Amino acid sequence: GAVVSQHPSRVICKSGTSVKIECRSLDFQATTMFWYRQFPKQSLMLMATSNEGSKATYEQGVEKDKFLINHASLTLSTLTVTSAHPEDSSFYICSAPESSGNTIYFGEGSWLTVV
Amino acid sequence: GNSVTQMEGPVTLSEEAFLTINCTYTATGYPSLFWYVQYPGEGLQLLLKATKADDKGSNKGFEATYRKETTSFHLEKGSVQVSDSAVYFCASTNSGGYQKVTFGTGTKLQVIP
């Protein structure tokens, strides 16, 4: 069945570097994808809505220059954490509603550790 | 917008005990409701869902009923196991479509032998 694949599942990077996380819809096209972030021991908070072929829509308080989102095709959205700092260490997860609108799928999530 | 409120944890139960995790929601219209589970060190998994009033979602012995009159979607299981230890998130989507998901704060469940 349709799934959403996220890569990498775990990544460690050094402070000041950038890291890219990919979210792919398999078997279906997703014009919209969503990126969430989970702080330690807290809930998942929506960061931004990724729109295929146009700019992402960011939630209030999310730095768009720090969290770059690109939705270049109908099956791929990427989140790039730029100039990462230890406070960016978190669990990032994407979701995509199936085109029929009846089901929403989540990726497996990506654990980012910035050292 | 939507909001979801769920009981704070952690919840600690002995194996085979009865589990209830309360969840209430606020929304305009008729949202869909979900319970997600996150096992330690893993991603998010859909546990069950309900799309309209009086629907009952069930999976792996867990159940939740969409109660419009009380705006609730409480999660229950008759007999928990150690393997059920995880964080449980109640969630809703905006009415009319499966788009943005609003999550509750999560409830950590620890089941001890």
Query: Which among A34, A103, A106 has CB closest to B44?
Result: A106
Alpha helices per DSSP H over B1-113: none
CB–CB of A104 and B98 under 8 A?
yes
Instruction: Give residue A41's pLDDT band: very low, low, confident or very high (50, 70, 90).
Output: confident
Model confidence at A39: pLDDT above 70 = yes
Whole-angstrom distance, CA of residue B16 vs CA of residue B59: 17
Share of chain A above pLDDT 70, in %: 97
Q: Are B37 and B103 in contact (CB under 8 A)?
A: no
Model confidence at B96: pLDDT above 60 = no
What angle (nearest 5°) sits at the alpha carbon of residue A28, between those of residues A26 and A34? 80
CB–CB of A98 and B98 under 8 A?
yes
CB–CB of B44 and A98 under 8 A?
no
Q: Please compute the mean of the pLDDT values over residues A59-64 and round it to a whole number.
A: 94
Instruction: Render pLDDT for B34-82 as a digit per residue (tens, 0 to 9).
Output: 999 988 878 788 899 998 999 999 999 999 999 999 999 999 999 999 9
CA distance, residue A15 to nearest chain B CA (Å): 23
